[in-house]
Structure 1
Amino acid sequence: MADLNLGEGLRKIVLAGIGALATTYEKSSEIVDELVKKGEITVEQGKALNTELKRKVSEVVDDAKATAETATKNEDEKSE
């Protein structure tokens, strides 16, 4: 039977999630920039939205990294 490394699989899933978050942030920033260009929101509102998006993405990425590191560490301890 194939050796399943659960920690490695979880790490890959977390990294995929981080990639998805980065893409979401980029697309959201583009939408905010487009709204500013159309005059539907002010430049200051756009900057505030982009800052908030960046902060939230950064928090989620940090949490995901911590979760992946913990899972990998736990998996490594189990295999010893």
Structure 2
Amino acid sequence: MAKPNKKGPIKTVDVYCVQCKTQLYKYRKGGKGSLVKCFKARISQDFTEQPCVCPECGQEFARETMVRGTPAYKMIGGKVFAK
């Protein structure tokens, strides 16, 4: 399988926790679909102290995984939203 584009998209989205509305990431997302996974290389700003755990409410919002040979966070449905 092909690896994701190194340079990545220019457009960034803000990723928030659904429960407490805390900002988690600024992420360079490509395409217009919903946020299913975040490649670690495309996260431009990370506001979390622990990976995949909201710093405010402590809720786990994603799981660490490998997607197409690249480290990524796989989002748990309904735990985050992107603007």
TM-score tier by shorter-chain length is under 0.3
**Scaled by the length of structure 2, what TM-score is found?**
0.24
Higher relative contact order by CA 8 Å / sep ≥ 6: 1 or 2? Answer: 1
Instruction: Report which of the two has the higher share of helix.
Output: 1
User: Who wins on radius of gyration, i.e. which is larger?
Assistant: 1
